[in-house]
Structure 1
Amino acid sequence: MPKRIASIIFDVNSPDFFSPLAQARRSVRGYLSTPVPDALLHDVMRLARLAPSGANLQPGAFIAVQGSVRAQLCAELVASWRAGEQEKEDYDYFPNPMPMTLRRRQVAAAQALYGALGVARDDRAGRDAQFEQNFRFFDAPVALIVTMPHGFGSGGYMDLGMTLYGLMLAAHAKGLSTCAIGALASYPGLIRKHLALDASSHIVCGMALGYADPEAPVNQTQTTRCELDEYFKVMG
């Protein structure tokens, strides 16, 4: 695994300390079993909440699932997915229909992931086995469920997104890795039931957090970003 995924030289006295941090962050899907100390996790969460939000409303909440609660939740998520059961999600993540420009990016990301694993395009069993890992939080030592109160509005999701990115960067700066898990949003009712959450709690995503496994082939995944002129213009 590239060293930049496992560690980073983070010098706040450098005139450009942010670039190496942002460039080194990756979505990691293979973790060591090494526990994350509670104090370290709490520190990361406090830093994440420093993200800006409209009117300082600080929307969203994080629930760490552990022990038997996590085991039972993961077991039912896997069983529901294997059975092909579907639920109505609390919010629309992808555009419907998906524009071809975005579809190409989606396909490229999948090719990077399964290519790193050596899973062929027609290997449905191999692809399903990897996707199922979403519902196990990729066996990361820390498993988070991210929620949002019903009726908060689109701006709340934007603000929560900044908090999620802040969490990812804070974790990486401290030697940890993360992966957001959008697949968990496909089973909001199941998750609310297991965690005894109120119906007004929208399930936004999950988050895996821990120490990256340097030997895991899946951590070799490399995705690209579109060129600057595709999303940035100067007018006037």
Structure 2
Amino acid sequence: MPATPHKSTQELTEVEHIMMSRFANRFYLDRAVDLEVITGILQAARHAGTGANIQPWRVYVTTGAAKTALTDAVTAAHKTAPGEYSSEYSYLPDPLPEPFASRRREFGAVFYGSLGIAHDDLPARSEQTERNCRFFDAPVGLVFTIDRRLEKGSWLDLGMFIQNIMLAAKARGLDTCTQEFLSRYHRVFREHLPLKCEELVVCSMAMGFGDPDWARRRPHMPKASIEEFASLHGF
């Protein structure tokens, strides 16, 4: 017989409410974020778990004229010669095995469907993809790097640091969207940001005040049940 889905009777904590309300927002208001808010987020995020206290992360935070110059350059590169740029690492394998491939297709159907963009409407999909280059018009754009000499364990630490930033931002009323897509334009980033040669661009992140209209009508991505990913023993 199939397992009965587990439903917790415990009241959610404030932290859990923040975790469950966070989503990848691709629509933002034209509203600046104060430097004090940004530094507060970074102050909290730096306490992320990290093996042997390596703290392998670096983050470049851009806004205003600096962000505009960066996004203009990335957009120009994307429009003129996208094939000349590629990430320094592989985010997903090709081909993507199941059940991951099905989940990826489901995401595309749900997200683009919510925007009224058909599967075969390539111009509209391309236009939406190009919005990555502008950090989805969010007022703040972050670029995350890691020392290329480090191993996979340190990438786990970087992920916890990025997650801390997303949660600390949400706690302050801000939305975020991490972007692996822009890692392919690392050469452009190097022309505008003081990256050292050993720094590898892992991803970027849009951050700002999310558009409340989109928040009300956005689709909720299906998540796997506990029974699908957890194996509990000895309870």
TM-score scaled to structure 2, two decimals?
Answer: 0.88
Pick the aligned partner of 2:111 from 91, 110, 113: 113
Please list the CA deviations of residues 156-207 of structure 1 after superposition, one character each: whole Å capped at 9, or x if unmatched: 1100101111111111111111110111111222222332422211001111
Q: Once structures 1 and 2 are overlaid, which stretch shifts more, 213-222 or 104-113? A: 213-222
Aligned sequence identity (%): 32
Matched, 1:185 2:176: no
Q: What residue is the counterpart of 1:10 in the other structure?
A: none
Q: Is the 8 A contact 1:117 1:218 kept in 2?
A: no
Matched, 1:89 2:91: no
1:86 positional shift: 3.5
* SS of residue matched to 1:21: helix
TM-score scaled to structure 1, two decimals?
Answer: 0.87
> How large is the RMSD of aligned CA atoms in angstroms?
1.9
Q: Which amino acid aligns with 1:70?
A: K
| Separation of aligned partners in 1, 2:33 and 2:72 | 23
- In the TM superposition, structure 1's runs of 4+ consecutive aligned residues that sit over 4 Å from their partners are none
Please list the CA deviations of residues 93-152 of structure 1 after superposition, one character each: whole Å capped at 9, or x if unmatched: 112321132111111111121111111111111111111111100111111111111111
| Separation of aligned partners in 2, 1:86 and 1:219 | 37
1:15 positional shift: 7.0
Q: Once structures 1 and 2 are overlaid, which stretch shifts more, 147-156 or 84-93? A: 84-93
Q: How many residues align?
A: 223
* SS of residue matched to 2:36: helix
Q: What residue is the counterpart of 2:133 in the other structure?
A: 135
| Separation of aligned partners in 1, 2:88 and 2:166 | 23
1:88 positional shift: 3.7
Alignment of 1:16-165 (within 5 A): 16-82=13-79, 83-165=81-163
Pick the aligned partner of 1:168 from 160, 166, 169: 166
Q: 1:15 to 1:231 in 2, by over 3 A?
A: closer
1:235 positional shift: 4.7
| Separation of aligned partners in 1, 2:204 and 2:68 | 15
* SS of residue matched to 1:100: coil
1:41 positional shift: 1.0
Q: Is the 8 A contact 2:67 2:140 kept in 1?
A: no
